[in-house]
Amino acid sequence: MRRVYAVWLLRQLASPLALKSYVVFLLGLILKQQVSIIDVLGNTHDPSYFLYAFAQTETLVQIATLGLLVVVLWFAWNFARSLFSIIFRPLISL
């Protein structure tokens, strides 16, 4: 029975949602160590300065920021698709 639980645990840990969560956590950790997020959010009122500051930052921070944005958008896309299929499933099956 332990093997069954071990296989179940490995499947849960390797699920697409879990893997995306690990990526978000790691990229967020990198950004937290490299960037003062409070100061960045304070400078978001001026888009031109925000873009200039992003362009002048280190490559690791740029990659982590873009990677985090891609994964969050991927989460949102999957959530919207799931929600759409739940809402419109009764209409489609008619």
Q: Where are the domains of the chain?
A: 15-92
Cα–Cα distance, 6 to 74 (Å, whole number)? 29
Check residue 63 and give its pLDDT.
92
What whole-number distance in Å separates Cα of residue 57 and Cα of residue 26?
19
For residues 90 and 27, which has the higher predicted lDDT (pLDDT)?
A: 27
pLDDT of 87 over the 90 cut: no
Half-sphere exposure of 31 (CA within 13 A, CB side): 20
What value does the mean pLDDT of the chain take?
Answer: 86
Closest C-alpha to 48, from 36, 56, 59:
56
Considering the entire predicted model, what is its pTM? 0.68
pLDDT on residue 92: 60
- The pLDDT-based confidence of 94 (bands split at 50, 70, 90) is low
